Every structure is written in C-alpha cells, then in structure tokens.
Amino acid sequence: MKQNNQKSKNRQSLDIHKAFQAAAPYLNMAYVMIGSILILGYLGYYLDKKLQTSPFLLLVGVFLGFGLSIYNLIKVIKENERK
C-alpha cells in the first residue's frame, strides 16, 4: 500500500516537473517583454532629457522595446514548435 502511494507521488511530481519545464520559456517571456520595454523606454527618456528632444526618443525606445519583445516571443514559440 505504501509502495503504491509512493509511486503515485513520484508520478505526480514528475508530471508537475514536466509541466513547468514545458511552460518555463513562456513564463520567462513576461519578464523579458516588460524589461526590454522599460529599459529601452528609460534609455529614450534619458536621451530626451540630455538632447532636449522630448518625447521623440522616449517613444522610439518604447516601440523598439516592444518590437524586440515581440521578435523574441516569436523566436521562443518557433523553438518550442521544433521540439
């Protein structure tokens, strides 16, 4: 009886591990998307203040960050389709 219960727990643990392993690239994408938009947006904001071109470079940074994050998302999806 204890052996069956232990096997069931091991199987559940393995299933959970496989699910997280499959979802990991997608869970990471939220951080990559937010990070790239914020970092490039802040860089644009900083350059706008320095060069007095407000809000042009801020918008360029935000859109560039968004574009790069979408590119990265498509790349991750294509890599996972190959597996």
pLDDT by residue (tens digit) across 28-57?
888 999 999 999 999 999 999 999 999 999
User: What is residue 46's predicted lDDT score, i.e. its pLDDT?
Assistant: 97
User: How many C-beta neighbours within 10 Å does residue 39 have?
Assistant: 12
Residue 12 pLDDT grade (very low, low, confident, very high; cuts 50, 70, 90): confident
Average pLDDT of the residues of the chain: 87
The backbone torsions φ and ψ at residue 52, rounded to the nearest 5 degrees and listed phi first, read 55, 50
- Asked whether the predicted pLDDT for residue 80 surpasses 90, the reply is no
pTM for the whole thing?
0.74
Which amino acid is located at 18 in the chain? K
